[in-house]
Amino acid sequence: MEFCGGHTHAILRYGIRQLVPKTVEMRSGPGCPVCVTATADLDKAIALAHLPDVIITTFGDMIRVPGSYSSLQKAKAEGADVRIVYSTIDAVEIAQANPKKSVIFVGIGFETTAPTIAASILKAQQDKIKNFYVLSLNKLTPPVMKALLDSGKIKLDGIVCPGHVSVIIGSHPYEFIPRDHRVACVISGFEPLDILLCIDKLVEQIEKSEPKVEIAYPRGVKPEGNKKALQLMEDVFEIGEANWRGIGIVPQSGLTIREKYERFNADKAFSVSLKPPREPKGCRCGDIIRGAAMPLECKLFRKVCTPESPVGPCMVSSEGACAAYYQYGTLENSQVT
Amino acid sequence: MDDSILLAHGSGGKLSHELVEKQFLPFLANPALNKLDDSAIFEASGRLAFTTDGYVVNPIFFPGGDIGKLAVCGTVNDLAMNGAKPQYLSLSAIIEEGFPLSELAKIVKSIKKAADEAEVNIIAGDTKVVNRGQADKLFITTSGVGIIPPGVDISGANARAGDKVLLSGTIGDHGIAVMSQREGLRFSMALDSDCAPLNKLVAQMLEASSNIHCLRDPTRGGLATTLNELARQSKVGIVVDEAKIPVKEEVKAACELLGLDPLYVANEGKLVAIADPADADKILTQMKKNSYGRDAAIIGEVTTEHPGKVVMKTKLGPSRIVDMLSGELLPRIC
């Protein structure tokens, strides 16, 4: 399984699925920040957007994901102030420029975005910005891998471990996987040769029955990770449970803002009432995120659900598995039936 | 403080006249424009091509160009892509209140320079000023008229099975150069936009061969979108070879960093040509003689298979579909 959506895209973009022997089956994992955001959390972000004098800031794809009843994009069209930012620091600057508004950054992503979100909170603290808040939906990679493997529902032989996440956390946090689950782990970069090298190493480990954690992306990843980034995360966040689409509540898999930075915590500063979340009918994003189904097995794929009118998040996000299969399909699977 | 555009510059009164007479006329002067009549008059005969386009690029100054150069080159290129020789342009500017006159002067000079290079005259124009916030600094719309030489028949619907697909140079330069300057995403790199008038390159290609069937400039949506448009319009399949598509190292690196595919990144000085296979090498040789076609390459061919679809042989060997761009080009999150 390739954990990361960036890997799914590279694998399809370069035709790697067709290149590897039929005995190697690649499954997409939950590594798409937009996709794993629970519908309930998305509903909360949309409700926050409708509060008076609130500006919602978030990363691009988030605004198009359908929630239970609406989307941030629809909220924007209805008059809510929703803005796309490329960096968390932009959100802090928007807060600075709009002192009479409350600026909430909807923080999604894994260990890659968490240090930058931590840095934005520290910047707001340092610059004494009182109208900046973070709705922390950040998630952690190794705990959800553990949850998937513990569930026993999907039998994996090897994991293409995420490249950018591993730049931050290093290779040590994956060591429980070969030790406790006998599953091979290789960290990969995103270039086609990186991925082929990674698959080669995985196959070798599996054939020798010697699962371990290897780094096939040494130009980016050190075993100990990026200590400065980890320190930033540690300072601002504590580990708590997180709600994953398709997987549910996973203990110890999310990041909550520590008490000393509580005044930046949107969950504490605002309260919204929410109707119970509902999933779009027929959408199999949950199964796809778990690796339990392939995009082509979803009945909505390419018929009802397209990048132009997505039903679920995996078709919205540029890191989503369905978007990758849609955009980079082969002639055989691109026919509308 | 810099002098800047006031709402009164759009009032139609004295300041409006001053704006035209001081900021535009001295640079763009030509007999048809100088008359300042309500419309420009010109002689023309034969088949004419006519096009219009609006330019709202952000930021308005970017490495290798600005909104003025873009507004001239874009319309000149749209005419050239039908084989027309561009002759006359109109130019309408919507200016946001408070826009610095010094920046406007820079842009008008750049319009003049691009028009001179393309050998077109701007013979009609208009300016409007809107309240602060109602436009983003400056919007420009240009329309253009060109003459199609006898015997030239170029259309997106003319591709035939067996034809070769030619590309005039590296892809993604414009999109990445602009993105590198965009608010919130600024990164420094030595890369200029490829923004350029291609009418002379096209004229030289047409001299080399009368069997060029399609021409199109892969602007927004990139090469992938243009190839799809041509495949659909001509009801043919197109097969391209990824290894043959030239991409600059800087663009590759920026795309890897941002999680973008250069196939979908905009160009403003490139063209795709589809031509009879017997003439392809001749056209390629001619293209390489022009500085805007220096890196030209034959990147693929037209087939009767999979009509309406573009298939690419990837660098590693397997083939996959190349779809049109859907949605916006956004950097990855993780």
Domain harbouring B128, CATH code: 3.30.1330.10
**CATH pick for A35-139+227-269 out of 3.30.870.10, 3.40.50.11740, 3.40.50.261, 3.40.50.2300:** 3.40.50.11740
CA atoms within 13 A on the CB side of A88: 25
Per-residue pLDDT of chain B (334 residues; tens, 9 = 90+): 469 999 989 888 888 999 999 999 999 999 999 998 999 999 988 999 999 999 999 899 999 999 999 999 999 999 999 999 999 999 999 999 999 999 999 999 999 999 999 999 999 999 999 999 999 999 999 999 999 999 999 999 999 999 999 999 999 999 999 888 875 666 777 789 999 999 999 999 999 999 999 999 999 999 999 999 999 999 999 999 999 999 999 999 888 888 889 999 999 999 999 999 999 999 999 999 999 999 999 999 999 999 999 999 998 899 999 988 876 777 777 7
> Same domain, yes or no, for B169 and B111?
no
* Pairwise CA distance, residues B23 & B106, whole Å: 10
> Same domain, yes or no, for B175 and B302?
yes
CATH number, position B233: 3.90.650.10
Question: How many CB atoms lie under 10 A from the CB of residue A79?
Answer: 9
Long-range pairs of A258-267 with CB within 8 A, sequence gap ≥ 24: A261/A121, A261/A125, A261/A236, A263/A130, A264/A121, A264/A124, A264/A125, A264/A132, A264/A133, A264/A134, A265/A133, A265/A134, A265/A136, A266/A48, A266/A104, A266/A133, A266/A134, A266/A135, A266/A136, A267/A135, A267/A136
Contacts of A106 in chain B (CB under 8 A): none
Q: Are B24 and B5 in contact (CB under 8 A)?
A: no
> Same domain, yes or no, for B123 and B51?
yes
> Same domain, yes or no, for B190 and B243?
yes
Does residue A335 surpass a pLDDT of 80? no
> Same domain, yes or no, for B32 and B87?
yes
> Same domain, yes or no, for B172 and B70?
no
The H-assigned helical ranges of chain A are: 5-13, 16-19, 33-36, 39-49, 72-77, 88-97, 114-126, 141-151, 163-169, 176-181, 192-207, 227-236, 266-269, 285-290, 313-316, 321-327
Residues 124-163 of B with CB under 8 A from A: none
Q: What percent of chain A has pLDDT over 70?
A: 99
Confidence label for A337 from pLDDT (cuts 50, 70 and 90): very low
Reported as a single tens digit per residue, the pLDDT across A83-130 is 999 889 899 999 999 999 999 999 999 999 999 999 999 999 999 999
* Pairwise CA distance, residues B219 & B195, whole Å: 10
B224: containing domain? 164-322
Q: Domain total for chain B?
A: 2
Contacts of B327 in chain A (CB under 8 A): 64, 307-308
Residue B333 lies in a domain: no
Chain A nearest CA to B309, separation (Å): 9
Contacts of A164 in chain B (CB under 8 A): 334
Residue B140 lies in a domain: yes
**Interchain contact, B333 vs A33, CB within 8 Å:** yes
**Which amino acid belongs to residue A11?**
I
Residue B154 lies in a domain: no
**How is domain A2-32+141-215 classified at the CATH fold level?**
Rossmann fold (3.40.50)
Chain B nearest CA to A314, separation (Å): 14
Interface membership of A29 toward B (CB under 8 Å):
no
Residue B328 lies in a domain: no
**Interchain contact, B321 vs A330, CB within 8 Å:** yes
| Strand pairing class (B121-130; A102-107) | unpaired
Q: For chain A, what is the radius of gyration of the CA atoms?
A: 20
The angle at the Cα of B323, spanning B321 to B324, to the nearest 5 degrees, equals 165
Contacts of A96 in chain B (CB under 8 A): none
> Same domain, yes or no, for B286 and B223?
yes
Residues 114-153 of A with CB under 8 A from B: none
Q: What is the pTM of this model?
A: 0.85
**Interchain contact, B333 vs A19, CB within 8 Å:** no
* Model pLDDT, residue B331: 72
> Same domain, yes or no, for B77 and B219?
no
**Which amino acid belongs to residue A209?**
S
Contacts of B318 in chain A (CB under 8 A): 14-19, 330
